Chain A
């Protein structure tokens, strides 16, 4: 069965600095999708970024980028120029093409220090 691990329950970053959140996953599939979701204190989950496993190029969305290492089954999220509004829980998620469920990691709580 697929699993998603986030080894950092909590992290902090100074405002304007860069932080990287780690995520590893386990799967036997060759094609799948990976996501990072953000859950701010309001608890409204929103998508931050997604990556298709068949694409070698790392996805980027403004200040958010990923480091996707397929062989290592690693999918880290880098937040550049951190802002106070980035403070939230971040969940890494896996979705297989032949699998109709999304598997979420336990989350990383990110604090941004002014």
Chain B
């Protein structure tokens, strides 16, 4: 079955540590996205990528980094510079950005800083 997988489902981090969230898709989609979800704030865009080896900052990129070395993979690193990283993180993909095609979402990763 085609879809988006995110791992791990739950992640605990100590302050000062970097952690990497995995996102893999086998939908052959060009574009991939990372969102952060906090209660009452909807989804906020962290980073997005239209093609391999290219990505752009979203609205809240500070303290995060990404890479896009393969079409199917778009990992997100939460660095120690991110002051309040506890949140639910969603990865999404779409066929092309400049069309009406919707985004498909992964199941999410819940990150908690201890």
Q: Which A residues have a C-beta under 8 Å from some C-beta of B?
A: 9, 33, 35, 42-47, 50, 52, 91, 95, 97-98, 100-102, 104-107
B8 → A minimal CB distance (Å):
14
Residue in chain A with minimal CB distance to B103? A102
What number of A-B contacts does a CB cutoff of 8 Å give? Answer: 44
With an 8 A cutoff between CB atoms, is B2 at the interface? no
Distance, CA A91 to CA B42, complexed state (A): 7
Residue in chain A with minimal CB distance to B88? A43
Interface residues of B in 92-114 (CB under 8 A from A): 92, 97-98, 100, 102-103, 105, 107-108
Distance, CA A2 to CA B48, complexed state (A): 18
- Would you list the 8 A-B pairs with minimal beta carbon distance, nearest first? A45-B105, A104-B43, A106-B42, A104-B42, A100-B97, A47-B102, A33-B100, A43-B108
A110 → B minimal CB distance (Å):
15
Residue in chain B with minimal CB distance to A43? B108
In the complex, which of the residues A9, A46, A95, A100 contacts B100, with contact meaning CB atoms closer than 8 Å? A95
Interface residues of B in 25-52 (CB under 8 A from A): 33, 35, 40-43, 45, 48, 50
B73 → A minimal CB distance (Å):
20
Residue in chain A with minimal CB distance to B40? A106
B100 touches A52 (CB 8 A): yes
Residue in chain B with minimal CB distance to A4? B42
Distance, CA A95 to CA B50, complexed state (A): 15
Q: A45-B90, A100-B50, A107-B40 are in contact. List 13 more A-B contacts (CB 8 A).
A: A9-B40, A35-B102, A42-B107, A44-B105, A91-B43, A100-B56, A100-B98, A101-B45, A101-B48, A102-B45, A104-B35, A104-B43, A106-B41
B48 touches A100 (CB 8 A): yes
Distance, CA A9 to CA B56, complexed state (A): 31
Distance, CA A112 to CA B62, complexed state (A): 38
Which chain B residues border A101 with CB–CB below 8 Å?
45, 48, 58
Distance, CA A47 to CA B29, complexed state (A): 17
B48 → A minimal CB distance (Å):
7
Which chain B residues border A102 with CB–CB below 8 Å?
33, 45, 103
